[in-house]
DNA sequence: TTCACGCTGTGAATTATTTCACGATATAAA
DNA sequence: TTTATATCGTGAAATAATTCACAGCGTGAA
């Protein structure tokens, strides 16, 4: 089991590596990856070590091999499916963002209360009525939920997702959601982050 | 100078406290805040200690006083202004989100390349042509930039923001941006976070 | 073949962050 | 007034994360 922060950085390295690959790069050194990822070379080496991949002291890391190796650590070989709940501006932005980007990880269903959105297909992802959440999640074998509803509804939506059997939640609503201990939850708190930037813009 | 992580949590506590205040609460205990913020009671006490506020062993913390105290640590008394660059779905979501929420921190200008958006007012925030960025940022005294443009343009936009004199950047584009050392930058990487959730949904 | 170089892999050291644990204390009740 | 109780504040301990620093190695050049 890889540490939380390491998983995050591996995901970033992989994105960089994919770009490098498309630019024709064969190998890359830890110090190059480090600059592109905004971390130290030692950190890069340690992260890569933690997934058991080894570079070559003279060539660095093999771009294609390392992508492969990160994939076999991070990805489910069967692929994983996510559902997005709340098709507002933010929800649509996320759908656009992800649309067909990672083969092993796709948002396959969206849910909303607004009947004008039902059955519309947004970025290749069909929109369903919120009260069909459990049914559809189970039918499609979805195991990740993305919450982009207003704060007031987030806990209710989360409960429904958990009942439906979801294992991980990405929560954009600015409230802490209570979930059973076996569910992994990650919050993206945009207001908090902006306030952090504001503080350090002044103090740094 | 308060630690980065502490600033983030203080911002979260404040949001919770504001809700409690509006519900009429006068006092709150560290263990209550802890549950609502998803941290330990000891952490809450330490964070609050770090801004020099003291509670009462019998009543806990005064809700209104603590809000006040967090404000005087985090906020600029004069207020701070932010500019958003890139008025797509994500940009609009952010504008909607922040619109008039914090008096000491407002997004006062948006920028885009698309001339159809020029001079439109979105959530009380006027949209300008991207090439007027430096001019407007300086005119309005903006010191925070929010980047919501595609990856390929992020570095260019960042350079313009830095030239215009901005001190902090909140970057939503999935690339690491290079900035001078005196600029504070925080990344929100939505893809990375989803991949993290996917990983731990499987492994946890 | 041998050498010199610059990189990787990693134990150890360091730094950052969180939690423990307990004395001090404010209040409500007796 | 005294006592019982539950909380705060915080030094110290524990844990987590990062960086240092260098032995060892693969490769290109001589």
pLDDT reported for residue A196: 97
Predicted confidence (pLDDT) per residue in A90-121, tens digit = 999 999 988 878 889 999 999 999 999 999 99
Closest nucleotide (C1' vs CA) to B53 is D9
* Mean pLDDT in residue range A4-18: 98
Q: Are A84 and A95 in contact (CB under 8 A)?
A: yes
pLDDT reported for residue A198: 97
Give one DSSP letter per residue of B31-98, joined into a string. Answer: HHHHHHHTS-HHHHHHHHHHTT---BTTTBEEHHHHHHHHHHHHS-TT-EEEEEE--SHHHHHHHHHH
Q: Is the pLDDT of residue A204 over 80?
A: no
- Integer Cα distance of A38 and A185 in angstroms: 25
Q: Is the CB of B38 under 7 A from strand C?
A: no
Predicted confidence (pLDDT) per residue in A129-171, tens digit = 999 999 999 999 999 999 999 999 999 999 999 999 999 999 9
pLDDT reported for residue A80: 97
pLDDT reported for residue A25: 97
Residue at token pair 């970057």: B171
Nearest partner of B196 among A176, A98, A121, A10, judged by Cα: A10
Window 134-193 of B: residues touching A by CB (8 A cutoff) are 143-144, 146, 166-170, 174, 176, 178, 182-193
* Mean pLDDT in residue range A25-48: 98
Tokens coding A50? 């933690």
Q: Are B108 and B84 in contact (CB under 8 A)?
A: no
Q: Is the pLDDT of residue B186 over 90?
A: yes
Distances (CA, A) of A99 to A94, A109, A153, B51: 8, 12, 25, 43
Q: Are B84 and B97 in contact (CB under 8 A)?
A: no
> Which residue on chain B is closest to A166 by alpha carbon?
B201
The set of strand C positions with any atom below 7 Å of a protein CB reads 5-11, 16-21, 24-28
pLDDT reported for residue B9: 98
Nearest partner of B180 among B195, B163, B193, B194, judged by Cα: B163
- Integer Cα distance of B19 and A202 in angstroms: 27
Predicted confidence (pLDDT) per residue in B99-151, tens digit = 878 889 999 999 999 999 999 998 889 999 999 999 999 999 999 999 999 99
Predicted confidence (pLDDT) per residue in B73-91, tens digit = 999 999 999 999 999 999 9
Asked if A105 and B195 come within 8 Å (Cβ–Cβ), the reply is yes
Q: Are A13 and A33 in contact (CB under 8 A)?
A: yes
Which of A5, A110, A194 is the best mutation test for B, with the most CBs of B within 10 A?
A194
Distances (CA, A) of A174 to A164, A171, B124: 23, 8, 22
Dihedral class, residue B141 (left if φ above 0, else alpha if ψ from -120 to 50, else beta)? left
Q: Is the pLDDT of residue A65 over 90?
A: yes
* Mean pLDDT in residue range B30-47: 98
Asked if B102 and A195 come within 8 Å (Cβ–Cβ), the reply is yes
pLDDT reported for residue A142: 98
Q: Is the CB of A62 under 7 A from strand C?
A: no
- The percent of residues in chain B predicted with pLDDT above 90, rounded, is 93
Considering the entire predicted model, what is its pTM? 0.96
Dihedral class, residue A60 (left if φ above 0, else alpha if ψ from -120 to 50, else beta)? left
Give how far A9 is from chain B: nearest CA, Å.
8
Chain B residues with CB-CB distance to A98 below 8 A: 191, 194
Asked if A201 and B38 come within 8 Å (Cβ–Cβ), the reply is no
Half-sphere exposure of B171 (CA within 13 A, CB side): 25
Compute how many other C-beta atoms are within 10 angstroms of the C-beta atom of residue A187.
18
pLDDT reported for residue B100: 76
Confidence of residue A2 (pLDDT cuts 50, 70, 90): very high
Q: Is the CB of B61 under 7 A from strand D?
A: yes
- Integer Cα distance of A42 and A31 in angstroms: 8
pLDDT reported for residue A101: 82
- The percent of residues in chain B predicted with pLDDT above 70, rounded, is 100
- Integer Cα distance of A47 and A59 in angstroms: 18
pLDDT reported for residue A107: 97
């Amino acid at each position: 089991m890889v540490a939380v922060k390491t998983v995050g950085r591996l995901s970033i390295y992989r994105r960089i590596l994919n770009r490098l690959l498309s630019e024709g790069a064969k190998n890359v050194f830890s110090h190059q990856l480090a600059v592109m990822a905004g971390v130290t070379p030692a950190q890069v080496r340690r992260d890569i070590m933690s997934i058991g991949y080894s570079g070559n002291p003279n060539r660095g890391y093999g771009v294609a091999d390392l992508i492969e190796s990160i994939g076999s650590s991070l990805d489910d070989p069967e692929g994983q499916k996510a559902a997005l709940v709340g098709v507002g501006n933010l929800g649509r932005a996320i759908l656009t963002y992800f649309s067909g980007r990672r083969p092993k990880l796709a948002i396959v269903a969206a849910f909303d209360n607004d009947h004008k959105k039902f059955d519309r297909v947004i970025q290749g992802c069909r929109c369903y009525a919120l009260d069909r959440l459990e049914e559809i999640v189970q039918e499609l074998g979805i195991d990740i939920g993305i919450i982009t509803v207003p704060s007031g509804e987030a806990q209710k939506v989360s409960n429904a997702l958990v009942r439906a059997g979801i294992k991980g939640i990405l929560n954009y609503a600015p409230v802490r959601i209570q979930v059973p201990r076996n569910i992994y939850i990650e919050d993206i708190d945009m207001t908090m982050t902006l306030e952090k930037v504001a503080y350090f813009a002044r103090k740094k």
